[in-house]
A = this chain, B = another copy of it.
């Protein structure tokens, strides 16, 4: 039997718990050795029910455990860079949720530490591991549509987050569109060099009061000459709307939304089918497992993780440009 990678999860909020459960139930060559969360009280029952033995309030206990191969950083964004640095220094491989940080300097410091330590770093852009988007990327890479000319991404949430979250989210571009900026790079195989943001507050004025927007159309120029457009809304009443299209010299690829079932009901009132899956944990369920499987594999086989530190940095740079474009009303070059 293959050796099992021992993992520690840092931060057991919604996404940390998800990763912990996936490691236990769905990733045969990984083992969850410990979980750390500053609110240990809140996770005790959950951890006990799953048979997790080591529950710490201080993540440093995980870093100090010589048996642990790698950590999953799922704490709040403002702690990511610091924990990456410490984990790297402790010689742990690192899986870090997106974004690394809102501040570019902090990101550079974290990436430097990782490079110095020679550990692996993977960023949690899980959508790259979605069955649909991955297939699109493969077809593009195989040249099935020739040279990409236009990349289109539709990304709409079913409902806006609580206003308290909006306040600390870094804004729609760093919080929500960042996934789409990553997707744009992933699908095009090229870098975004310029963005122009056309945005508005159409869903909820309270979002506007926080200085944020809730609806946006963002156009992109890519280094390879291709054009792109992302459209976002914080509220698609029919569900989580996640589609992409890549158009090129030899064809076009589209993917539509996943639905709970394929049932179609025809009556006097019309022909009715399922709405898209509503919740992101439901829609992207398998992608969260896949990304950690590949992280574990990249440790076992000592190869580069599929989403690198640079892949974590670039979408932040694009998001900052998009934010600036939104503020100035002018196109902005990506740093």
Copies in the complex: 4
Name the residue on B nearest A148 (C-beta).
Answer: B202
Task: Report the Cα distance A266→B270, complex, angstroms.
Answer: 13
Q: Residues of A within 8 Å of B, CB-based: how many?
A: 72
Contact A265 B251 (CB under 8 A): yes
Residues of B within 8 A of A145 (CB): 265, 267
Contact B254 A144 (CB under 8 A): no
Q: Chain A: residues with CB nearer than 8 A to chain B?
A: 1, 25-26, 48-49, 131-132, 135-136, 139, 144-145, 147, 149-150, 152, 156, 196, 198-200, 202-203, 215-217, 219-221, 225-229, 231, 233, 235-239, 241, 247, 249-258, 260-268, 270-276, 329-331
Please, could you name 30 A-B residue pairs with CB atoms under 8 Å apart, sorted by A?
Answer: A1-B49, A131-B261, A132-B261, A132-B262, A135-B263, A136-B263, A147-B202, A149-B202, A149-B215, A196-B219, A198-B220, A198-B229, A199-B227, A202-B225, A215-B227, A217-B219, A229-B229, A235-B249, A236-B252, A238-B251, A238-B267, A250-B268, A251-B267, A253-B266, A254-B263, A257-B262, A266-B275, A271-B274, A271-B275, A273-B273
